[in-house]
Structure 1
Amino acid sequence: MPARRAVTGRSQEPRKRFAEELRLLRAERELPLRKPGEAVGWDWSLFSKMENGETLGGPEVVQALDQYYGTPGLLLTLWELAMGDPTQFKERYRRYMTLEAEAISLWHYAPYLLPGLLQTKAYAQAVLELGRFKGDELTRQVEARWERRTLLEGENAPSFRTILSETVLRTPLPVREQWQEQLEHLLTVGERRNVTIQVVLHSFGLYPLGGTDVMFPKPTDGRTVAWVETSHSGQAVEETAAVDRLQLRYDFVRDLALSPADSRKFIMRMLEEASCEPST
């Protein structure tokens, strides 16, 4: 257990305190910015922005830094306070963030919304606005969700597969240019070796998992956990038999989906349709 850190003289403004603590932890160890980046698998420029207070980063980045610096929970707590609404980080969501950060692979199915890891800022804002977020709180939440994309970057990034219902790709943003940007982002991210995107067409009819947003984060111990999400809550499913049932349904949907190459062509077709001028 690390020695308790004195707070005398530290900033009392949460965001500044978080950045201050990051700078101090690195300075105490006399480390260049590149060193933590190389150790935890994120680009050093992100840590520079975090230390300067330009961004807070995502929970998975902060958890990795907590582990690297040997400060279990300290940075995550400061990050939650800096986000301005610590009540949103209930234990069940903290559990998911831990599973996601430690996963060597992430398999996902989306029935109606794009997964947060693939959302642009505009898409994230549109989704969050449907909830209770607004003003500064909305801005913070959008930034936090956008920063989560870094989980899929770097040499140690986990393997990520998402299967999208056709509904996801036929539910555009109100602003056409923003929807085009989102589709282009999908195509760009889909080019990464660790990312696989597939699409299930409406023409396949009814199939298992039709209305269930589910993620399977697999940790290094080989155990598979399922995280089932609704529009207002999320729940970890860890009982082996229940996870196996969800996994079998996922496998069925994966077999049903278009191949990654054909899925990419489908997304490109959606982009072409979105790029067409509306008829007058």
Structure 2
Amino acid sequence: MPPRKATTGRSQSPRLRFAEELKSLRAESGESLRRLADRMGWDWSLFGKMENGETIGGPEVAIALDQHYGMRGGLLALWELALGDTSQFKEQYRRYMKLEAEASGLNHFSVSTIHGLLQTDGYATAVLSAGGASGVALTQQVEARASRRALLVGADIPRFRAILSEAVLRKPLAHPPDWRVQLKHLLAMMEHPRITLQVLLQSAGIHGLVSTDVMFLRLPGGRSVAYTENAHRGELIEESASVERLQVAYDAVRDLALSPAESRTFILRMLEEVPCDDPRMT
């Protein structure tokens, strides 16, 4: 018996179905790609690529579009199907992404890797590959991580402070040119008036976040939540006393870290140590 055809005429491929839905929703709204981009805060070309099926974008883009079109989670569900791995975005993480989109300020501490918002494609590829991703799944995850960087593009971004353990910068990528690009990207991000990067030297010793990657989100109304993470799982923490304990530990780490100016000098020294096969690269 031949396969049954869908009566809607819509594609049965989750990725194409997601693209079709995006195009249909925008057509119904009467918005141009540029008008949508102005309202959403992402580049219009991203939405064009999503509607053409070239990319599915990241989770925060899907959440924002779901809210924009009033889909009550329906568009996000299609995005998850297009991603092909719904287990990656459980309810806690979806809630975190929604809160991140609302946050007016973000403070992060990195124990072992650079945070996704600060990663270049080369760095993201290396990290995700080390975690076991490959093929199409790797491409999709790198795309998702790249789209998240839009959160830190523009003049009116949330205030963002990232403290990097020195150990993070002592783990170079296997491909030196990619590592140079990543270090230069960090230096470029430090130029933004709403972004502060600091380095915590190993000589600072034992501290309260010695084994914890944590992100604090400052939400409308002054409330803060925290998201802690390791290689295997993440946890959204909303209970105020627990968030406050983590915040006290974070503040102590910040006081131990190099100043932004000293941190810039440190990263510049790291950049100078990267092997360079091409003498024209500086």
Structures share fold, TM-score greater than 0.5: yes
Deviates more, 1:12-21 or 1:184-193: 184-193
How far did residue 125 of structure 1 move?
Answer: 1.7
Contact 1:41 1:156 in 2 (8 A): no
**One-letter code aligned to 1:178:** D
Aligned residues: 272
The one-character-per-residue Cα deviations of 1:199-256 (angstroms, maximum 9, x if unpaired) are 1112222222122100001221321111110110001111111111110111111111
Alpha-carbon distance in 2 for matches of 1:94, 1:71: 15
Contact 2:108 2:162 in 1 (8 A): yes
Alpha-carbon distance in 2 for matches of 1:88, 1:61: 16
**One-letter code aligned to 1:23:** K
How far did residue 78 of structure 1 move?
Answer: 1.1
Alpha-carbon distance in 2 for matches of 1:204, 1:254: 11
Contact 1:41 1:155 in 2 (8 A): no
| Structure 1 partner of 2:53 | 53
Mapping for residues 254-265 of structure 1, pairs under 5 Å: 254-265=254-265
Aligned to 1:217, the other structure's residue is in SS state: strand
Q: Structure 2 length as normaliser, TM-score? A: 0.91
**One-letter code aligned to 1:189:** M
Contact 1:36 1:68 in 2 (8 A): no
Q: Which runs of 5+ in 1 are unaligned?
A: 1-5
Contact 2:200 2:256 in 1 (8 A): yes
Whether 2:262 is the aligned partner of 1:253: answer no
| Structure 2 partner of 1:215 | 215
How far did residue 61 of structure 1 move?
Answer: 1.4
Distance 1:174 1:109, change over 3 A: same
Deviates more, 1:127-136 or 1:231-240: 127-136
How far did residue 52 of structure 1 move?
Answer: 1.8
How far did residue 7 of structure 1 move?
Answer: 7.3
Mapping for residues 73-88 of structure 1, pairs under 5 Å: 73-88=73-88
| Structure 1 partner of 2:131 | 131
Deviates more, 1:153-162 or 1:220-229: 153-162
Q: Structure 1 length as normaliser, TM-score? A: 0.92
Aligned to 1:225, the other structure's residue is in SS state: strand
**One-letter code aligned to 1:139:** T
Contact 2:106 2:217 in 1 (8 A): yes
| Structure 1 partner of 2:100 | 100
Alpha-carbon distance in 2 for matches of 1:59, 1:178: 25
Mapping for residues 182-201 of structure 1, pairs under 5 Å: 182-201=182-201
**One-letter code aligned to 2:66:** D
Contact 2:201 2:257 in 1 (8 A): yes
Whether 2:14 is the aligned partner of 1:14: answer yes
**One-letter code aligned to 2:260:** P
Q: Calculate the aligned-residue CA RMSD, in Å.
A: 1.7
Whether 2:269 is the aligned partner of 1:269: answer yes
Alpha-carbon distance in 1 for matches of 2:87, 2:113: 24
Alpha-carbon distance in 1 for matches of 2:113, 2:221: 30
Distance 1:196 1:7, change over 3 A: farther
| Structure 2 partner of 1:141 | 141
Aligned to 2:258, the other structure's residue is in SS state: coil
Contact 1:42 1:154 in 2 (8 A): no
